[in-house]
Copies of this chain bind each other. A is one copy, B any other.
């Protein structure tokens, strides 16, 4: 399988991207990588590394999208960006998947433009995997669509459920709607309408879920608009870091605490690993005609490596085709 990797996207690009690519081909025989970005720069970075040069190739792209650029401007003005060239490779059949830690809005807009949405899908969504007390859940949309209609949330439920079946291996995933109360009547205009639509599907819909139950494992798939999803995701990341810092500070102010902390260190390391974004690596764009994986802007080489692994899994299992089939069957079910 060949995966196109945006070598210029992310806070630590291109070095961690290249590092992740080199490690991946070293460990995984089934993935070859096309690094997309400034060829001179990339060749220079590659010079000091040992890797099988038949399995990592370079595709030149002269432009880089900056994080502050509005997607529409970026799309119009930067037709030779690493994101555009990478997705073009997927479109042309020269790559099976695309991975980027760059501007998620631009990845979304470009893949919509070049690959198109899956049949029947109004708006693709970013699906993120997060840890719970039991195992993991899928949160979507994690930031692709900041203003949504009820029909979008309905489709996020259908797409998230299919993704959860194929990638997390849960045969009948529970789907919940993120809201401000468990009762059917709680929510804002958007979620109240979406609630009715989700209830009318064949999904294993368990109703509203409150923020406090997000991490308890009550639902396998949690649906919300992309603004809330992104805020929720970042609060969780920030709070986990803050809590560890607060705990450390409290500990160092208590006499027996320091030695206790040392004894607990292996446990804290395990905990960090469980809640570490890098472990989950990449969030797929669901509802696109192809495989596009978005990785965190702060991605390390480990995160890039895991994103490449997710891309391989997603593409091999042909998840985007299953999603198109699920949406299609829901539409024909409602028409019948």
- Cα distance, A216 to B241, chains bound together (Å): 10
Which residue from B132, B212, B265 sits with its C-beta under 8 Å from A234? B212
Cα distance, A175 to B177, chains bound together (Å): 30
A237 neighbours in B (Cβ, 8 Å): 211-212
Q: Which residues of B contact A230 (CB under 8 A)?
A: 180, 211
- Give the nearest-CB partner of A148 in chain B: B188
Report if A246-B271 is in contact (Cβ < 8 Å); known contacts: A180-B143, A180-B146, A262-B260: yes
Of A147, A191, A228, chain B has the most CB atoms within 10 Å of the CB of A228
Of the candidates B68, B143, B238, B259, the one whose C-beta lies within 8 Å of that of A263 is B259
Please report the C-alpha to C-alpha distance between residue A69 and residue B224 in the assembled complex, in whole angstroms.
24
Q: Are B270 and A254 in contact (CB under 8 A)?
A: yes
**A266 CB within 8 Å of chain B:** yes
Q: Find out whether the CB atom of B183 lies under 8 angstroms from the CB atom of A67.
A: yes
Cβ–Cβ contact A189 & B147, under 8 A? yes
A247 touches B232 (CB 8 A): no
The size class of the interface chain A forms with chain B is 35 or more
In whole angstroms, what is the CA distance A68 to B235 when docked?
A: 28
User: For chain A residues 259-299, which have a beta carbon within 8 Å of chain B?
Assistant: 259-268, 270-271, 274-275
**In the assembled complex, A178 has its CB within 8 A of some CB on chain B:** yes
* CB-CB nearest in chain B for A230: B180
Decide yes or no: A246 and B133 within 8 Å by CB, A237-B212, A251-B267 being known contacts: yes
A210 interfacial by beta-carbon distance below 8 Å? yes
Q: Is the CB of B185 within 8 A of A70?
A: yes
| Cβ-closest chain B residue relative to A188 | B146
Of A224, A240, A262, most B-chain CB atoms within 10 Å: A240
Q: Is A257 an interface residue when CB atoms closer than 8 A count as contact?
A: yes
In the bound complex, do residue A264 and residue B240 qualify as a contact, i.e. CB atoms below 8 Å apart? no
Asked if residues A264 and B251 are in contact (CB atoms below 8 Å), the reply is yes
- Do A257 and B250 touch (CB < 8 A)? no
Whether a CB of chain B sits under 8 angstroms from the CB of A332 is no
Contact of A245 among B133, B228, B261, B264 (CB under 8 A): B133
Q: B residues within 8 A CB of A240?
A: 239, 243
**A residues lining the B interface (CB < 8 Å):** 67-68, 70, 132-133, 143, 146-147, 178-181, 183, 185, 187-189, 191, 210-216, 224, 226-228, 230-243, 245-247, 250-251, 253-254, 256-257, 259-268, 270-271, 274-275
**12 pairs of residues in contact across A and B, judged by CB atoms under 8 Å:** A68-B183, A70-B185, A147-B188, A147-B189, A179-B231, A210-B238, A211-B238, A224-B231, A235-B239, A257-B263, A257-B264, A263-B263
